[in-house]
């Protein structure tokens, strides 16, 4: 499956809509968009990953670094909509702090 990224920059927010496979080949696109948004004055990144079907370890690393970059600029990054794949990986890897509102049953398990 292909990967697509739609970015809507409306400072101080940027909304990134991701779909498809988020892997070593596509994760840099997310990083570049977060960088561009910061340079445009955005301090809040909202990610919609509801259509993401696959995530590899390098993509998780990119998301963690992007979150850290936003924090270092007094900003925030959160996943506001997530697919089951993204939810499971964030919970398993300790990146659940990226999730805006994880299902309580998923956090408890």
d(CA 63, CA 69): 10
CATH number at residue 66: 3.30.750.24
d(CA 37, CA 26): 18
What is the band of 107 on the pLDDT scale with cuts at 50, 70, 90? very low
Is residue 12 within 8 Å of 43, Cβ to Cβ?
Answer: yes
- Domain limits for position 34: 3-108
Is residue 105's pLDDT more than 50? no
Number of structural domains found in the chain: 1
CA neighbor of 56 nearest in space, from 17, 28, 23, 100: 23
pLDDT in tens, 55-66: 998 998 888 898
The predicted model gives 47-73 an average pLDDT of: 92
User: pLDDT: is 63 or 5 the higher one?
Assistant: 5
Q: In this structure, what DSSP letter does residue 95 have?
A: -
pLDDT in tens, 73-98: 999 999 999 999 999 998 888 888 88
């Amino acid at each position: 499956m292909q990967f697509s990224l739609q970015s809507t920059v409306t400072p101080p927010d940027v909304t990134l809509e991701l779909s498809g496979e988020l892997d070593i080949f596509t994760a840099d696109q997310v990083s570049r968009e977060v960088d561009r948004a910061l340079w445009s004055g955005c301090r809040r990144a909202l990610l919609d990953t509801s259509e993401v079907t696959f995530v590899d370890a390098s993509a998780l690393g990119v998301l963690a670094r992007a979150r850290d970059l936003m924090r270092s600029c007094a900003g925030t990054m959160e996943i506001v909509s997530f697919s089951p794949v993204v939810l499971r990986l964030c919970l398993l890897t300790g990146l659940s702090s990226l999730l805006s509102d994880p299902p309580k049953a998923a956090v408890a398990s």
